[in-house]
Structure 1
């Protein structure tokens, strides 16, 4: 296993370095998958989990050691300490390995390519829903191949990742069959080979002129935009500020940008200027000192003299606080507006509200106080010749978010303007190359060309296919001037559908889960959903030994609780205000349902006992109290005709009639079978037929309250809350970034509670239909009452466990 993991890590290191290493993307996970196959044959879930953990550590060390070193240098802990922290946090940094391995393990018995599809879907779904600092994914490694990267306009980088995983599965499958000869290996190898061949064919189609950039529906290209990118190569702002003083450092920084910009406008005829993130490292338009006011005026005067628009990184400020921003300055008109960075870097640009405090600031003195922006914003770039070009600004981590680029394309942007400060990545360039590739994919996905400038490299101009038309290398000052043809491209599939691959993968996993549950359910039931001979209950078993008064009281409380739920269903249908007020719903359900249900539960607990069998006797024990019933004296068990406060039985004793206590048990038929009895019902009147139909059906495992009312709402709340955060706050953790952990968790709790209430009320209505339909069938068609009840329960389960997720998925895809 360790050898396989080491082999995968070595190939991952070569793949992450770029260049010709992209070919390893189709095989780098195959050795690890061979190790997983061996563990799965031993049926070892713990071993599978440990293997996934080890691979996440090895992958982090091979592909992202530079990130740990950069964090160590930035925090002054040292590179070794930074790398050690990275490796310790590897399962959090790369959780997709755990999701992949577990999905593969639990679908291992499925035939064909289903385990591979389920595992690949788990990987991309995990990457979609779990926030990632760098937004990294395997698909980015295909950037060096102009042909293979073009399919990103269909499924984004996530789509390429999915295909790479399937290719790796094909190679691993071929290796698993090598003892069976080449014929057995040919099929998985052919499937693996289809991935690069298909990507190459699509790439050729796109680059031949039939792709989205110039295909049918695309507007004709107008006059190109000639823009200059200023890569000043001035890094480590804080050290230089301390060494030279704040004024002298800003003076030097601006002078360098002024000189390079002047050359770009006068000698190279640039029509617009783009400076880097925080090129002016103080608030523009809201000076904090007289020197700051002088610098502001100097920047305005330079733009007026140059006669071209200037876009530069700075800080914006309002009543709420400061923002990392891009300022749009127009000659003769002044400030046209700001774009505020959406995705701040945690623990460096900001501290969460719950963590922010004097102690945290002492331990993290470098952490800033900036606030996040509120998503994509298309800004007008007004040129001297009268053209007004809609542009999409992105700052640093913004360009790893596919949804921001898609939102800009939908708002009509014709070019992306990206700016970043990548100097903290270090001199090796691996982090800067990854960031460059991620940014280039935003152009491929939307078919929007892009100007991207960084402090010390790599600055470049990209066409709509992600190709670098002009650029500056790493670690040197460079002036990049390029012409990009502009058009309004026909919307790509990504622009039309959004970042859909992760959502589709999650939906696929839900379908697989529902399919597996349905198969397990059908395996436990007889033909037509009717149970044959009852299996025996497992002893010891908890039962409730109820005297008549206790049963009446608990049953009444349960009836009140169920009636309260029906009343709340009616109130929700008639009252729009209540439907939109989760807190009011919680209060109402607490009074109408939780309180009477708690009373019934307390009454039952007061009469709970443990039932067991020993020496031909039924033993009922509660602490020191014991009741014994000789099974030889047990004449019959009669199920309760009305299952209140739940299902139960009356014991008929030979020569004594009915026992004075009733037994509330989870399943009357199984309890009777365990005692060697049959659940006796007369089968004559309506309630007896109804009882027989109820006893003929087993209980589905997902009918357990924990599964139905806790886990199902959680599964539904997670994607809904994720979508809400992206719409309302611009990212999956937007509310957390803005208002802290407490507000974020409270908001999620309310979403979870709202879905739980919805599931409870929906289940109540479905249960009403089931019981009402069963009674009607018992009255009209007593011989088919069991089949009717089985059909109603099947339909209710489908509505609850398939209908609700399907409706939610439809709403998400529509949004």
Structure 2
């Protein structure tokens, strides 16, 4: 961090290291440098606003965050232009429109950094607590949006061992703590000027990172495993442009019929179809429902089928409510249904529709042009068609971005997770691979195996440590079959499942405490 570098260089460096901290395709390979680049993200963020006043740091920090997050969210162009048929100008702005939410939190951290550094209180602990607390805020404020939260960059590093205790926020905390601890060792004069304490604080911060990571890794036992169940995840590879076309309905069902038979022939007893794999609703189409039940009977398997759920009111003249649902289908009939509870704003529903309805059309409401209805909330589905009743969690697509919500699937008794998603929207961008990394964190936090069924990939089997055991390529018709160990009945869930975001709220308390102490310390002059 050198004063000889213009501020704009640090801004561009921050955008570059943020982009490289998350997975991206390069030809037939996926480049994933998060374990290395994540450490540079907080350092370049600080350098970009070093020496500024609080107000100026917040303003510059917003634009820094907008550029960096917009780079990671480049796939929003594909969503809006290729599939949403929006004008190119709208597509160019779309990544930055989505990034604006995250940029607000980046602005808040930049302001906190300026305020703490200006009063000699910017210790590694304070800066890490502020970043971690704000990342936690992204899980619930204004419905939340956690894509590109810093902790996800560590999805393949040894720090993943912290996830069952702290959630992804803990990975964020130790990354920022380690980065500024290393800076205190390398540039002690600069760290002391901020209040980082120089080399002693640097040694202490790095020692904590190493000890916490090592202790978590050594003490990280696999989730107690009972019997295993043979599961399959299907990847029909139905292109988004034809997914809802009536001309493709029979062909789509035929593809999934064939994949289901292949999975059953390989021994699968529970077979998951992706989000809205069925071009219709078993609730409103008796022939479709009978077809699915007949397939379950033929294959002697329990199916978890993504489809549109319907709820009919007392007035038959009113259109039914629409849900993004997962149906349990057994040889005995259609069983329980889980309705997605955390919907995509501007995708599955339009916020403030009376105000915005004339100007903004939601992208993903299918052919109905109406809002999808929010489900009741996370709960375990009971698969009655298996050898014994088997409770499982079935988070659907966007819900996987929210750790506390996925935690509740495990807390309600789920013995494994089936993640259903449709990533066709993203095309051949980094998004499917980034979403897989997010799903891996949910597995590590809950200690449960995850069977991920994605329409166009990446479908995967992920163990309770967040390790991807098997995966498909994107945009190929494929399936995975494997024996998935279940959490035994009565086995103690992970600390995170039992206590939720306790560590995150501790970071909030630490951040606020550091802020209070800084307010009582005289400030130093800063750039206007």
On whether the aligned pair clears a TM of 0.5, the verdict is yes
Distance change >3 Å, CA 139–CA 421, structure 1 → 2: same
- State the SS of the aligned residue for 2:465: coil
Alignment of 1:239-254 (within 5 A): 239=242, 241-242=244-245, 246=246, 248-254=247-253
Partner residue, 2:261: 262
Partner residue, 1:157: 168
- Work out the number of aligned pairs and report it: 490
- State the SS of the aligned residue for 2:288: helix
Distance change >3 Å, CA 196–CA 82, structure 1 → 2: farther
* Mapped pair 1:204 → 2:222: no
Task: Identify unmatched segments of 5+ residues in structure 2.
Answer: 1-6, 24-30, 314-320, 523-528
Alignment of 1:286-685 (within 5 A): 286-287=284-285, 293-319=286-312, 321-331=321-331, 333-352=332-351, 354-355=353-354, 359-360=358-359, 367-384=369-386, 386-428=387-429, 430-488=430-488, 489-512=491-514
Residue pair 1:391, 1:416 contacting (<8 A) in 2 also:
yes
- State the SS of the aligned residue for 1:16: coil
Offset at 1:116?
A: 2.3
Deviations for 1:724-758, whole angstroms, at most 9, x for unmatched residues?
A: xxxxxxxxxxxxxxxxxxxxxxxxxxxxxxxxxxx
Higher relative contact order by CA 8 Å / sep ≥ 6: 1 or 2?
A: 2
Deviations for 1:677-726, whole angstroms, at most 9, x for unmatched residues?
A: xxxxxxxxxxxxxxxxxxxxxxxxxxxxxxxxxxxxxxxxxxxxxxxxxx
Distance change >3 Å, CA 3–CA 336, structure 1 → 2: same
Distance change >3 Å, CA 74–CA 116, structure 1 → 2: same
Deviations for 1:533-570, whole angstroms, at most 9, x for unmatched residues?
A: xxxxxxxxxxxxxxxxxxxxxxxxxxxxxxxxxxxxxx
Partner residue, 1:137: 149
- State the SS of the aligned residue for 2:394: strand
Distance change >3 Å, CA 125–CA 308, structure 1 → 2: closer
Give the Cα separation in 1 of the matches to 2:299 and 2:32: 39
Task: Identify unmatched segments of 5+ residues in structure 1.
Answer: 215-220, 288-292, 521-815
Partner residue, 2:223: 213
Distance change >3 Å, CA 452–CA 28, structure 1 → 2: same
- State the SS of the aligned residue for 1:355: helix
Give the Cα separation in 2 of the matches to 1:389 and 1:399: 21
* Mapped pair 1:231 → 2:235: yes
Deviations for 1:495-532, whole angstroms, at most 9, x for unmatched residues?
A: 12112233223333444455567889xxxxxxxxxxxx
Partner residue, 1:802: none
Residue pair 1:448, 1:464 contacting (<8 A) in 2 also:
yes
Give the Cα separation in 2 of the matches to 1:459 and 1:62: 25
Residue pair 2:130, 2:508 contacting (<8 A) in 1 also:
no
* Mapped pair 1:46 → 2:55: yes
Offset at 1:306?
A: 1.3
TM-score by length of 1: 0.56
Give the Cα separation in 1 of the matches to 2:458 and 2:146: 17
- State the SS of the aligned residue for 2:252: helix
Offset at 1:186?
A: 4.0
Distance change >3 Å, CA 502–CA 93, structure 1 → 2: same
TM-score by length of 2: 0.85
Give the Cα separation in 1 of the matches to 2:284 and 2:191: 74
Offset at 1:257?
A: 0.5
Residue pair 2:470, 2:480 contacting (<8 A) in 1 also:
yes
Deviations for 1:462-493, whole angstroms, at most 9, x for unmatched residues?
A: 11111122221111111100101112342222
Residue pair 2:73, 2:99 contacting (<8 A) in 1 also:
no
* Mapped pair 1:105 → 2:150: no
Partner residue, 2:318: none
Partner residue, 1:660: none
Larger Rg: 1 or 2?
Answer: 1
Offset at 1:373?
A: 0.5
Residue pair 2:276, 2:307 contacting (<8 A) in 1 also:
yes
Deviations for 1:743-791, whole angstroms, at most 9, x for unmatched residues?
A: xxxxxxxxxxxxxxxxxxxxxxxxxxxxxxxxxxxxxxxxxxxxxxxxx
Give the Cα separation in 1 of the matches to 2:493 and 2:326: 26
Partner residue, 2:279: 281
